[in-house]
Structure 1
Amino acid sequence: MLLPSLVVTPALRGGLGADQGHAGENGTVSGKACPKGLYGIFCEECPAGTYKNVTGSDRSLCFSCPRDELPNRAVYVHVRGGITETPCPYKCVSERYHMPHCYTALEELIYTFGGPWLFGLLLLGLLVLLALVLSVARMKFIGVDELPGPAPTQQGSQIDHSFPFLESLNEVLETNRVEESQSHVHRMYFMGPNTFSEPWHLPHTPPEQVKEIVYEGAFNAFVDEINALAAYHWWEGSVHSILCILAYPFAWSWQQWRRRMKLQKIREFVRSEYDHSCLRSCRSRALYEGLKVAATPDLMLAYVDFFLGGDEKRNDLPPSLHQRFPMSLLFGGDGSYMAPFSLHNDNIITSLMSQSVPPTTWYRFVAGLNAQLRLVRRGCLRSKFRPVIQWLETFANPALSGVHVDLAWFQATTDGYCHYGLLIYAVEEEIGRVPSACLDGDTGIQQRSSALGVYLKDEPSNKIYLGQTQRSTDGNSRRKIDGGILDINSLKVLEEKRDLFFILSFLIHNTKPVGHQDLVGLVISILLLGDFSLVLLTLLQLYSFSLVDVFLVLFIIPLGVLLPFPAGINALFSHGPRRSAGLARVYALWNITSLINIGVAFICGYIHYRTQSSRKIPNFQPWNMDESEWWIFPFALVLCKCIQSKLVNWHVANLEIQDRSLYSNDFNLFWQS
């Protein structure tokens, strides 16, 4: 027999009262009211984000937790037995946030010291204090005697001509002559900038000035051996290309190291391995003294000096200064920040020029010219060469009695690279000075060149080539200089190539000295410490996003964001103005390179902000570095690095130009200093 199934359905509400006429309350399975924290028929926990501090079963007794007690980046959690009082329990949305305020590591640091404004003031005070300590330590370590400042050169001391920025009448009183200058015949320059793509090379045709002292066939063999030694291996250029992508300052150091090794190899070959068989002099071949190779300090310009052996029995050798005219002196460097243009001076050039110009005047001229040339930079040659030309006409040529100096270009290669330098030729006394009004324009060039015995030849490429007619013992011969004069008009059509690094030249470039070296050094120390502090704060901020972001910022340009600090400390604590200036330039390179890392930080912060904005919890904190203000520290880093670049430019100028009268606009003050 089947019995009907009995379904028991609990009543939601109680029945009607007998005499009262009121409806009954909600019931429960147990028949008792739910305790605090629980509600409903089965006495379940109140939903997350609510609490219940009274007995009863009604849902309305679960009150919402106060929203102002819930930190940003936190969510309410369930608690066994329900929530009976405030504050309601919660947890942070990620393990990277720390209880109780769910702050990031950066925010926890900031609010530990009283909030952003008080933290900023404390950090600034600490940076100033540490910078003062660094300045005192720098003075103790370097010594007051080695700090930059004009110091007269002692009588009879050897002059370092490889650093001509420091040569002035206050520093150079005399120069030591060497016997080699009396037997010097000619200086032959290497072509090319000595890069991995365009190494040094010598032309196979011997110069006209040395044809009488060399065997042409043996000279060609000598040139082949030199060019083979000067060429770079493929792997050297490959390493340089890789380092340019990973860390450009290391690429520059690698290139300079390989250049130095290449120069040493060439000099050792000429000095001890090559038998000098191209020379006609038996004495030169026997003593290995007829050829010598040298280079400018920047290792971008090299040259071969030819000397007499003493057994030539030629009365017309070595030639005098006027017999060498027109004479070309090429600039070292390429106009970049790391290798500015400069005229390298040595005893041979000084000895030759002393035949017409007093040595003290020539040294002052070289110092003033190099001060002007260091302001010239690639990409802006048209505008930056103009002051150099004006300086030559107004300051140099009026003081260089007997000779005239023009800015010119020389030795254009097949790749379009050309050297810049000076063209020096004689001014005949009976001709007199050419009016300054004739210096501009093609007509002025022709008038001046005709008066000075220099002929101009217009080639199809519209380049102006120079030569001078002079008489030798064998008859008339015409010497041609492979190059052209640069004047105000020719600068307008000067062609120059610009690369991607041209934009950076607005941040790092050579400037005039501003003085106040101690103050500039102190401010650089403050910014250097501030830069490092901002880097650490930025990395703390990125850590709250993701460890992947920290990895990307650190290793896209490996450690580029951290290396400016040790590079800056190394530059500030180095001995000697020349070494300090070189290390300061490397520090400037690292400072600019780190902008790539900061760009990565911007991208990571923006991506995080966009992905979090769709599910953003209302922000109740007065200041939050993880939300809309994510850009503050990266932007502060960019601003700090731009200011550092400007100050480093001044610092380098103060180190390299100790005599500020080199930039004087007063003719008499310049030459009397």
Structure 2
Amino acid sequence: MQECPVGTYKNITGSSKSLCSPCPAYELPHRAIYMHIRGGVAETPCPYKCVSDRYRMPHCFTALEELIYTFGGPWFFGLLLSGLLVLLALVLSIARMKFVGTDEFPGPAPTQHGSQIDHSFPFLESLNEVLETNRAEESHCHVHRMFFMGPNTFSEPWHLPHTPPEQITDIVYEDAFNKFVDEINALAAYQWWEGSICSILCILSYPLAWSWQQWRRRKKLQRLREFVRSEYDHSCLRSCRSRALYEGLKVAATPDLMLGYLDFYLGGDEKRPDLPTRLHQRFPMSLIFGGDGSYMAPFSLHSDSVVISLISQVVPSSIWHRLVVGLNAQLRLVRHGNLKVTFLPMLKWLETHANPALDTYHVRVDLAWFQATALGYCQYGLVIHAVEGEAVAAELQSGSRIIFDQHSLNQNEDADSQLGHSRSNDAYMCKRITGGILNVDNLMTLKDRSDLFHPLSLILHNTKPVGHQDLVGLVISILLLADFSLVLLTSLQLYSYSMVDILLVLFVLPLGILAPFPAGINALFSHGPRRSAGLARVYALWNITSLVNVVVAFVCGLVHYKSSTKRHPSMQPWNLGGDETSWWLFPTGLVLCKLIQARLVDWHVSILEIQDRAVYSNDPTIFWQ
């Protein structure tokens, strides 16, 4: 008896091949082939096997399809997964509220450090009084604050200029000061291996590179403090008491560790009635912003006890505190790489909100740039100077427009002709602040430096706060869980292609696709607005970094599809049918999910950092209430 060919069967008696009937096509899965059976097939269904061990009998589904069709197919599975995500997000939000409490909810602005005694702990009131007394004495002896140049990076570390500013020439020995600067600059420089590790981490994982840089910055600041406090003999100071007690110098930095400064204090034995100088004698006085306008380190004005004590000689502390809060809210929106546009609203804010309130005290603040370095890094900040009526204010403002430097401003043809006609007070201000005033006229001439990561600022940037904090937190929880679910589904899909695809997605960049979920949970369940905001920024970095892994997954799916079309030319690339034709679905969903997460995290950070919405009011009356 002759066997029927593979793919046919015969259920009647006879030896002719014409009696063999083809097996029903609908019974054969699209990833299966018929098997040869000794003696032939006598009945349906005809025996078959899957084309690869990656597929599972009886439907020759992939692991992903097996999961989806176990729960009723794509649409029902999608609805079930969506409902489960919302339910888990609600549970997560409730757990977060129970765990975190009310720390992150908007409320009154926190008391500024050093502004008044904290009476919330009566048994520590005496200690608070001692600290406040020490701060007051320290501020009373303060002579000058000298800012480090450079952003404290591995390529451009902090450094001090060798020429002492005129404010301290009477209390230091210039030769000894130059030696002190050499020692400080040598200590502030980084080792080659520190920068090399950072460069490698930038390629492999930018969030780890940023964490490494912050850790080394913190260690560097600690080393400089130890050197000045206990190792340096203070020989550059003229005061015998300061040299004997190792006092008179103090190194500190802003919280972002990008701006460092060196404070000079009197020793008490100078016998100079004109020292320390009063605030009006220090005008124009420079206050440089911390940060660089990036997402992780936005510009901010750090107002410590020394600054508050000095400013309070002219402006009430309450007015100054409110001005700093409003200024920092505006500075959050200034973006590195787009300074020409984002500095403009802040200039207008100074003219409409800040200076009208300061006119009562005959003081004015202006935006300025300071001490551009050899590599072109330019610092920005405020210049505080006294004015005597509107005429002088207008004179200073118009005259200051011609003060700028080749390092950071492109001089136009009119500037050269104006320079010869500058007033004496303009030259004096330029000398005192080692920089120049920025205004609407010369702002467009700024050289705005951008780096390799500048395109990310289009996705990640600080925004104004929005309402509905609970809703934003809930949606972030939903998207965080959706992100993790899509990662698992994408991994199952890639597993059906090849184990090599799984390894490529996991390790290019290393574990980047898995890191956003734990980083997001850590940010959502952290205590305190400031800590939560910092961790949320790290979560945003991991979220954007993982886009590289998603692109790798997309490429792997495309390569698999191209190889499949050679075997099955009739397949359409954008169908939602089988596993081969829906290769683009989960990577595309991940991209959309991560982009939406980026915007929501920006809102979440703004809610945590800006607790008073009135700081963005266009009405100065509402702002100053």
- The TM-score normalised by the length of structure 2 is 0.91
Three-state SS of the structure 2 residue aligned to 1:178 is helix
Pairing partner for 1:649 from 595, 602, 615: 602
CA distance in 2 between partners of 1:603 and 1:255 (Å): 32
Q: Which residue pairs with 1:389 in the alignment?
A: 347
Superposition pairs of residues 296-307 of structure 1, within 5 angstroms: 296-307=254-265
Three-state SS of the structure 2 residue aligned to 1:292 is strand
Pairing partner for 2:584 from 631, 639, 643: 631
Contact 2:286 2:382 in 1 (8 A): yes
Contact 2:371 2:379 in 1 (8 A): yes
CA distance in 2 between partners of 1:517 and 1:198 (Å): 39
CA deviation profile, 1:88-135 (whole Å, cap 9, x unmatched):
111111111000000000000000000111111111111111111111
Three-state SS of the structure 1 residue aligned to 2:444 is helix
Contact 2:109 2:612 in 1 (8 A): no
Deviates more, 1:284-293 or 1:595-604: 284-293
Superposition pairs of residues 235-254 of structure 1, within 5 angstroms: 235-254=193-212
Does 2:308 align with 1:308? no
Shift in Å at residue 63 of structure 1? 1.3
Shift in Å at residue 409 of structure 1? 0.7
Superposition pairs of residues 196-275 of structure 1, within 5 angstroms: 196-275=154-233
Shift in Å at residue 658 of structure 1? 0.4
CA deviation profile, 1:590-649 (whole Å, cap 9, x unmatched):
0000000000000000000001101128789x9534222110000000000000000000
Shift in Å at residue 489 of structure 1? 1.9
CA distance 1:617–1:610, change in 2 (3 Å)? closer
Shift in Å at residue 497 of structure 1? 2.1
Q: Which residue pairs with 2:127 in the alignment?
A: none
CA distance 1:455–1:336, change in 2 (3 Å)? closer
Contact 1:455 1:467 in 2 (8 A): no
Pairing partner for 2:383 from 394, 401, 423: 423
Q: Which residue pairs with 2:121 in the alignment?
A: none
CA distance 1:75–1:347, change in 2 (3 Å)? same
CA distance 1:479–1:157, change in 2 (3 Å)? closer
Deviates more, 1:562-571 or 1:401-410: 401-410
Q: Please tell me the residue identity of whatever aligns with 1:148.
A: F
Does 2:68 align with 1:110? yes
Shift in Å at residue 574 of structure 1? 0.3
Three-state SS of the structure 2 residue aligned to 1:614 is helix
Q: Which residue pairs with 2:502 in the alignment?
A: 550
Contact 1:192 1:201 in 2 (8 A): yes
CA distance in 1 between partners of 2:435 and 2:491 (Å): 54
Shift in Å at residue 289 of structure 1? 1.7
Contact 1:127 1:526 in 2 (8 A): yes
Q: Which residue pairs with 1:276 in the alignment?
A: 234
Runs of 4+ in 1 over 3 A off after TM superposition: 151-161, 429-434, 446-450, 454-461, 463-470, 476-480, 617-620, 622-625
Q: Please tell me the residue identity of whatever aligns with 2:311.
A: M
Q: Please tell me the residue identity of whatever aligns with 2:607.
A: N
Deviates more, 1:574-583 or 1:129-138: 129-138
Three-state SS of the structure 1 residue aligned to 2:288 is strand
CA distance 1:565–1:449, change in 2 (3 Å)? same
Superposition pairs of residues 583-602 of structure 1, within 5 angstroms: 583-602=535-554
CA deviation profile, 1:437-466 (whole Å, cap 9, x unmatched):
xxxxxxxxx77345xxx6955767629899
Pairing partner for 1:666 from 614, 619, 624: 619
Shift in Å at residue 656 of structure 1? 0.2
CA RMSD of aligned residues (A): 2.5
Shift in Å at residue 494 of structure 1? 1.1
Superposition pairs of residues 11-26 of structure 1, within 5 angstroms: none
Q: Which residue pairs with 2:455 in the alignment?
A: 503
Superposition pairs of residues 1-150 of structure 1, within 5 angstroms: 34=1, 43=2, 45-144=3-102, 146-150=103-107
CA distance in 2 between partners of 1:459 and 1:601 (Å): 49
Shift in Å at residue 431 of structure 1? 3.5
CA deviation profile, 1:63-103 (whole Å, cap 9, x unmatched):
11111111011111101110111111111111110000000
CA distance in 1 between partners of 2:307 and 2:157 (Å): 25
CA distance 1:158–1:182, change in 2 (3 Å)? closer
CA distance 1:517–1:458, change in 2 (3 Å)? closer
- The TM-score normalised by the length of structure 1 is 0.85
Q: Which residue pairs with 1:526 in the alignment?
A: 478
Superposition pairs of residues 225-624 of structure 1, within 5 angstroms: 225-401=183-359, 402-429=362-389, 431=391, 434=394, 448-450=397-399, 456=402, 462=411, 469=425, 479-616=431-568, 624=577
CA distance in 1 between partners of 2:564 and 2:508 (Å): 24
CA distance 1:248–1:447, change in 2 (3 Å)? closer
Q: Which residue pairs with 1:442 in the alignment?
A: none
Does 2:140 align with 1:182? yes
CA deviation profile, 1:551-596 (whole Å, cap 9, x unmatched):
0000011110001000000000001000000000000000000000
Structure 2 unaligned spans of 5+: 119-131
How many residues are paired up?
A: 597
CA distance in 1 between partners of 2:405 and 2:493 (Å): 63
Three-state SS of the structure 1 residue aligned to 2:478 is helix
Deviates more, 1:524-533 or 1:282-291: 282-291
Contact 2:465 2:603 in 1 (8 A): yes
CA distance 1:518–1:341, change in 2 (3 Å)? same
Shift in Å at residue 49 of structure 1? 1.0
Contact 1:456 1:467 in 2 (8 A): no
Three-state SS of the structure 2 residue aligned to 1:592 is helix
CA distance in 2 between partners of 1:334 and 1:55 (Å): 88
Contact 1:325 1:468 in 2 (8 A): no
CA distance in 2 between partners of 1:431 and 1:391 (Å): 21
Contact 2:151 2:259 in 1 (8 A): yes
Contact 1:468 1:478 in 2 (8 A): no
CA distance 1:457–1:340, change in 2 (3 Å)? closer
Q: Please tell me the residue identity of whatever aligns with 2:371.
A: Q
CA deviation profile, 1:518-560 (whole Å, cap 9, x unmatched):
1111110010000000000000000000000000000011110
CA deviation profile, 1:153-179 (whole Å, cap 9, x unmatched):
689986799xxxxxxxxxxxxx98521
CA distance in 2 between partners of 1:541 and 1:291 (Å): 62
Contact 2:115 2:317 in 1 (8 A): no
Contact 1:364 1:671 in 2 (8 A): yes
Shift in Å at residue 211 of structure 1? 0.5
CA deviation profile, 1:330-386 (whole Å, cap 9, x unmatched):
000000000000000011111111122111000110000000000011111111000
CA deviation profile, 1:484-517 (whole Å, cap 9, x unmatched):
2111121211111222311111111100000211
CA distance in 2 between partners of 1:338 and 1:160 (Å): 32
- Give percent identity, aligned residues only: 68
Shift in Å at residue 137 of structure 1? 1.0
Shift in Å at residue 432 of structure 1? 5.8
CA distance in 1 between partners of 2:114 and 2:290 (Å): 25
Contact 2:363 2:385 in 1 (8 A): yes
Larger gyration radius, structure 1 or structure 2: 1
CA distance in 1 between partners of 2:259 and 2:405 (Å): 27
CA distance in 1 between partners of 2:112 and 2:449 (Å): 46
CA distance 1:500–1:291, change in 2 (3 Å)? same
CA distance in 2 between partners of 1:156 and 1:618 (Å): 70
Three-state SS of the structure 2 residue aligned to 1:202 is coil
CA distance 1:467–1:367, change in 2 (3 Å)? farther
Contact 1:467 1:479 in 2 (8 A): no
